[in-house]
Structure 1
Amino acid sequence: MPKIALHNRDGSSNGTVDLDDAVFDVAVNVPAMHQVVTAQLAAARSGTSKTKSRGEVRGGGKKPWRQKGTGRARQGSIRSPQWSGGGIAHGPSGEQNHVKRVNKKLKRVALRSALSDRARSGDVRVVDDLVFEAPRTKDALAFLDALEIGSRRVLVVMAARDQVTGRSFRNLRRVHLLTVDQLNTYDVLVSDVVIFQRAALDHIGKGSRPDLGQRGRRPSAGTRSDDADLGQRGRRPSAGSRSDDADLVLTGREQE
């Protein structure tokens, strides 16, 4: 069972913690991660793109010139797809459904693979307590500097929602905050470093699912969460992270 240093909020060491082999030390399955991330990003698409076909574009009812005798190619309408200003052939209808189905077992494999990859590269941190007394961005920056994160992108995994901590991090574009039940493959892979609150790591190790209220976020591109502790500008949403993914990684056993 791999061990990792346990840090205080000031960066000092506070012993070590054990990482679950079934979650943080499995073989990395790249095709599984690719398939799950593709499905997550597809679920985030709104599917409302719409173009007009030649029948929907205004005008073009008159034949531009007679069929024969001009030397030109025959044309029936100035709104045909080959004309500038014409309709679009086979364009999006505004009712597209981009959702791709992924079974639970594959989600489980993908998330464990992502966490194992970060753990092997030394990019997993565990912090004993991650609750700030007051919402201050300066305190959040000092915390990241103490862990020697640098300018890398960071995923912070909390055991439960904390509004003060969320407000401390929300002005940092390179930091993304999630609760443990929202943990998903895309957010792990898009981040360079994953920081776990000790309580969040304990939930994963015990295989329990904490009651954290609303589970996950509905993937909606370009929206900013009204909850101060979640939602981050400048980052794509955790598509599909109604956290089926988190449910699947919480235990090393197969969950049916």
Structure 2
Amino acid sequence: MTGPTTEQATTSTAQAADDGQDQSLTVDVLGPDGTRTGSLDLPPAIFDVPVNIPLIHQVVVAQLAAARQGTHDTKTRAEVAGGGKKPYRQKGTGRARQGSIRAPQFAGGGVVHGPTPRSYAQRTPKKMKAAALRGALSDRARAGRVHIVESLLGDDMPSTRAAVTALRHVSERRRALVVMARDDDVTRRSLRNAPSVHLLPVDQLNTYDVLLSEDVVFTRAAYDAFVSRLDDPTGASEDQT
């Protein structure tokens, strides 16, 4: 799946931050049928902070780098099978001297300075990841793209059709990120195969997935769990590198 670049996704945030406006962000809490069941004030410490675009870029690049498998590998001339015998005598043939048909200049020969298995992981401090996540969420919140639902289903029976219908009451945009509680098996089973819906447990919420999605939809249980993490010294931190 491809999405907007970090710079494109946060342009509106940078403009809002430059305006210096300090306004309370209030969102409606919706039921499965789209009716309003209440409202919540989003904590400014998470959803209304200035955005550091270079920081967000650094964190996203580190996350994508850490996701690389790094299993690429090539064989050197010592690892390629064959080539133990000198292909022809040293002198008298009129050809350039060669010692092995597995030398790099031969087709099928070894590779010089080729890629080897490695880890691309970068060390990113927790506070940097937390600040980047708060900035991304603030961008979505200021644009009115953070939503909270009591539940996507009216009962405890999984239903993809009912869950997708409930999401349409929240937003008609193409890409939606649904943040659910870790133990919310009903929501997981209902939306795991839904097109254009990315499903994440609340403890895996990260900057990249927020930027990749046009709307962020929290279930009420996931929102409460996420906000409670403010008690953590690093704030709303990420678990993914």
**What is the TM-score when the length of structure 1 is the normalising length?**
0.73
**Residues 145-196 of structure 1: per-residue CA shift (max 9 Å, x gap):** 222334x222111234221211110111422222222211122122221101
| Corresponding residue number in structure 2 for 1:176 | 198
SS at match of 2:28: strand
Cα distance in 2 for partners of 1:166, 1:207 equals 22
Partner of 1:241: none
Question: Which structure: greater helix fraction?
Answer: 2
Q: Does 1:62 align with 2:72?
A: no
Out of 129, 148, 152, which is 1:107 matched to? 129
Task: Please give the alpha-carbon distance, in whole angstroms, between the structure 2 residues aligned to 1:85 and 1:155.
Answer: 47
Q: Which residue of 1 aligns with 2:236?
A: 250
Identify if the C-alpha distance between structure 1 residues 176 and 249 changes in structure 2 by more than 3 Å, giving closer, same or farther.
farther
CA distance in 2, matches of 1:159, 1:68: 75
Structure 2 distance, partners of 1:149, 1:90, is 50
Letter of the 1:81 counterpart: P
- Aligned pair 1:53/2:54, yes or no? no
Q: Which amino acid aligns with 2:225?
A: H
Instruction: Give SS of 2:115's match.
Output: coil
* Alignment partner of 1:155 out of 160, 177, 191: 177
One-letter code of the match for 2:166?
A: F
* 1:226 alignment counterpart: none
* Equivalent residue in structure 2 for 1:193, among 207, 210, 215: 215
Q: Which moved more, 1:172-181 or 1:58-67?
A: 58-67
Per-residue Cα deviation, 1:87-138 (whole angstroms, up to 9, x for no partner):
12222333x1222101111111111111111112222111122355311211
**Is contact 1:7-1:127 (8 Å) kept?**
yes
- 8 Å CA contact 2:191–2:197 kept in 1: the answer is yes
Distance change >3 Å, CA 25–CA 68, structure 1 → 2: farther
What percentage of residue pairs aligned between the two structures are identical?
54
- Considering only aligned residues, what root-mean-square deviation do their CA atoms show, in Å? 2.5
Q: Which has the larger radius of gyration?
A: 2
Counterpart-to-counterpart distance in 2, 1:72 and 1:248:
68
Aligned to 1:140: 163
* Preserved contact between residue 130 and residue 236 of structure 2 (Cα < 8 Å): no
1:6-25 counterparts in 2 under 5 A? 6-25=29-48
The gaps in structure 2 that reach 5 residues or longer are 1-23
The CA distance in 2 between the partners of 1:115 and 1:72, in whole Å, is: 67
Unaligned runs of 5+ in 1: 210-245, 252-256
Note closer, same or farther for the CA distance 1:205–1:155 as it changes in structure 2 (3 Å cut).
same
